[in-house]
Structure 1
Amino acid sequence: MNLLPRSTDVFVIGGGPAGLAAAIAARRRGFQVLLADCSVPPIDKACGEGIMPDGLAAARSLGIDLTASGAQPFRGIRFCAPGVPAAEAPFPSGHGLGLRRTALHHLMVEHALQAGVQFAWGARITGIRPNDADAGAAVEADGRLVRTRWIVGADGGHSAVRRWAGLDASHRDSRRFGFRRHYAVAPWSEFMEIHWGDACQLYITPVGPEEICVVSISRNPHLRLDDALPQFPDVARRLSGPGTLERGGVSASRRLKAVCRGRVALVGDASGSVDAITGEGLCLLFQQAVALAAALDAGDLALYQAEHRRIGRRPEFMADVMLLLDRRTRLRRRALRTMASHPRLFARMLAMHVGQLSPLDFFTNGLAFGWRLLTL
């Protein structure tokens, strides 16, 4: 049984990376923070387990140095497809990291504890009162009412907080389905690899000196890894021995009309999401957490609403581009050939993807990319 306080400044509902990031950011602004989740650590989730350079920078803005975690670095992205030369590009500066989700969660819990976040693991949250007359807001937790100045919903793509706050309305909502395994195989590449097929993609992320994470993702909820791997014989040949237990999840593209109302704000997947193909999920939630804490400090959630929209524009655009390649086989093959034969174009596209080149600069100097797509 959790010994819940009667009140707190910020009540965070959801103990995954988004909730932990929001809690850490709020503590860094001097707020008293309580985080509650019905689960207990470590909390796992099927994902590609790769963190891009901009995600590492966003984590550092919260005081979290993921490079000290023993994670496996990778220096860029490689696109592969049957019958098409591989296209690869290094990041313009820095590197990415492959890190098991459970290891990331443990690291963030430890950091939150050091920051002074209070926890209520295993707590049952049954409702919120976003406009309680006495104290601004309140949360119903384990049969008690905890009063709070602010409520943060970080409870994932199926967020109950979002529903309770009346924030479910969205501009767009589409889904794909992913399945993940780990294999005790030494990484064969310094790159995070995306293997493109007609029915799905495979993501290969190095997460240790002798371990890789393999994720299949498609629009078919029944297409498991064992069904996907035969479409990628070069990868299948490298995966000697059994993998870990397969874990599934939903990759959603969801844009909400609003991410805050009254004294309630949403963060992470609860606030909308981009498809996993971007690899930007963790970066987004770190950036959102920093923006939310600043808005709480100013006492104005409208600031967070505006910053949330700004933060999401680039990843949403890149997701739209890459999902177009997923849907259009001929366009995808042309694009991959162009990237392979003109690596500087691919490098500039990757620089834009990780926020190290503005879209204006890319398109000003990247008109040749579109022309080559039309003429190849």
Structure 2
Amino acid sequence: MRDLVVAGGGPVGLAAALYAARAGLDVVVREPRPGVLDKACGEGLMPGAVDRLALLGVRPTGHRLAGIRYLDARHEVEAPFRHGTGLGVRRTTLHAALRAAVSAAGVEVTGPAVHEVTQHGDHLVVDGEPARHLIAADGLHSPVRRLVGLESVPVRLRRYGQRVHLDLPPWTPYVEVHWGGCAEAYVTPVAPDQVGLAILTTQRRPFLDLLAEFPVLAARVAGRPTSRVRGAGPLRQRVRRRVSGRVLLVGDAAGYVDALTGDGLAVGLAQAEAAVAAVAAGRPADYETVARRLGRRHDLLTLGLVSATRAPVVRRRIVGAAHRLPGLFGAAVDQLARPV
């Protein structure tokens, strides 16, 4: 009987497998999609996420990130990271580095996806095969979360993300967040000759229509070839709990607020480590309290910012307020960049 099945072979699932292998657990990753996986995301790693990956022996190539810059039509303000540097890295590059580390650790990654889970007290059965524990890292719309009854009611406010890449040398080492009337646009350096451009909004409109909301940015990238548009959403996902018997939720599967603050991967990596520790100790229920603590700072800051900027008057003034109070803006960025 295996000690652990990890459902989902994205970055957090692969990290969970690496933590499990280091703990001496017999682990398998169930991922139906072969090869390197891509996903719509901002692709900026906070310093805490970079440090956690390095401790796992994973050091993907990318572009150094010095901090966060907010911009609107009248103001701009930037806050450097106070503790370490971030990394802009293509999602495919990050995934390839993690897959290589998992392969070197001797962990099997195989399909199909998890379709059936039944619990039997001292073990569970995953698609007919017994195992001691299951960690679900199968994404924003986690099928395992639904299978074990941890899905909560959806929220009314729905936000969506779209992302492209442009063959364009980065003009700054900062992640730029351009604030518009109905959306935010993120520019992240990911290579010496490439930037990622992501837009978050409540409106389901074509990418170029949304980009037109940012005329200065649109003019800067005009005429540059772009990759295909990838989308994700609705972003906000609620969960009833993060543990059901011997099933533990990590990463986006464990509930998601928004991509606005950019520290979701750091939280997911911390959750993966904590979940594996609970499994290794034979106390999966302990993970619930730890997961809640790990996500508290991220959830409060992100939900607060998303909720406040729903009001048009606040959205129009957010960058101006940060410009007038750079110390407060810097402190908020520091909180998000700190290790989880």
Normalising to structure 1: TM-score of the pair?
0.85
Larger deviation, residues 247-256 vs 148-157: 247-256
Matched, 1:130 2:119: yes
Larger radius of gyration: 1
Q: Which amino acid aligns with 1:295?
A: A
Alignment partner, residue 3 of structure 1 = none
Alignment partner, residue 175 of structure 1 = 158
Alignment partner, residue 265 of structure 1 = 248
Matched, 1:114 2:104: yes
Matched, 1:102 2:84: no
Q: 1: CA distance between counterparts of 2:299 and 2:81?
A: 20
- Structure 2 unaligned residues grouped into runs of 5+: none
Alignment partner, residue 370 of structure 1 = none
Instruction: Give 1:173 deviation, angstroms.
Output: 7.1
Alignment partner, residue 57 of structure 2 = 64
SS at 1:277's partner residue?
coil
* 1:39-88 residue CA offsets vs partner (Å, 9 max, x unmatched): 11211110001111121123234x1343xx22101101000112x21011
Matched, 1:186 2:145: no
Q: 2: CA distance between counterparts of 1:345 and 1:259?
A: 32
Q: Structure 1 pair 124/346, CA: closer, same or farther in 2 (3 Å)?
A: closer
Tell me the number of residue pairs that the alignment of Structure 1 and Structure 2 aligns: 339
If each structure's strand is expressed as a fraction of its own residues, which one has the higher value? Answer: 1
Q: Alpha carbon RMSD of aligned pairs, Å?
A: 1.9
Alignment partner, residue 42 of structure 2 = 48
Matched, 1:39 2:28: no
Q: 1: CA distance between counterparts of 2:57 and 2:276?
A: 16
Alignment partner, residue 131 of structure 2 = 148
* 1:165-196 residue CA offsets vs partner (Å, 9 max, x unmatched): 11113595753111111000011112101111
Q: Structure 1 pair 128/333, CA: closer, same or farther in 2 (3 Å)?
A: same
Alignment partner, residue 149 of structure 2 = 166
- Matches of residues 225-374 of structure 1 in structure 2 within 5 Å? 225-239=207-221, 240-355=223-338
Q: 2: CA distance between counterparts of 1:26 and 1:228?
A: 42
Q: Which amino acid aligns with 1:111?
A: A
Q: Structure 1 pair 251/52, CA: closer, same or farther in 2 (3 Å)?
A: farther
Q: Which amino acid aligns with 1:315?
A: H
Contact 1:21 1:285 in 2 (8 A): no
Q: Which amino acid aligns with 2:99?
A: V
Contact 1:92 1:356 in 2 (8 A): no
Q: 1: CA distance between counterparts of 2:171 and 2:10?
A: 30
Which stretches of structure 1, 4 residues or more, deviate above 4 A after TM superposition? 170-174
- State, as a whole percentage, how many aligned pairs show the same letter: 35
Normalising to structure 2: TM-score of the pair?
0.94
Q: 2: CA distance between counterparts of 1:320 and 1:213?
A: 24
Q: Structure 1 pair 277/124, CA: closer, same or farther in 2 (3 Å)?
A: closer
Contact 2:114 2:144 in 1 (8 A): no
Q: Which amino acid aligns with 1:76?
A: G
SS at 2:233's partner residue?
strand
Q: 2: CA distance between counterparts of 1:334 and 1:243?
A: 31
